[in-house]
Amino acid sequence: MARNGVYFSRMYSPIGRSAQFCSVLLKVSLRELGGVNRRLVWQLYNRDLYRHKDDINVICELLAVKHGDIELDLFSNSVLDVFIEFLCTK
């Protein structure tokens, strides 16, 4: 009975609903979610961003070529689209 009361109380709060959703999605207890803080999230975000930095730079340059900001007559727009799609989905 108390378990249902805690669950439904959590559902009345937007923060509680978000915590419950993350708990179910990640299959962890709410106590384990308490260790996640802003610093940890920022470190993980920067690590992932750094890992994809080269791909992001190439995509930016290909988009600049496609939109005419940089001139490069080696590839048609359809070939540029294939390159961009490959980099975005690999």
| The pLDDT of residue 89 | 84
C-beta of residue 19 within 8 angstroms of C-beta of residue 30: yes
For the chain, what is the mean pLDDT? 80
Q: What is the pLDDT of residue 5?
A: 52
Percent of the chain with pLDDT over 90: 6
Residue predicted with more confidence, 47 or 8 = 47
**pLDDT at residue 8, rounded to an integer:** 55
The domains of the chain are located at 1-36, 37-90
- Lowest mean pLDDT of 3-7, 31-35, 54-58, 79-83, name the range: 3-7
State pLDDT tens for residues 27-45.
888 777 777 778 887 888 8
- List of long-range contacts for 75-84, beta carbons under 8 Å, 24+ apart: 84/59
13 pLDDT more than 80? no
State residue 1's pLDDT score.
Answer: 45
For 72, the 3-state DSSP assignment is coil
CA torsion angle 49 51 55 57 (round to 10) = 60
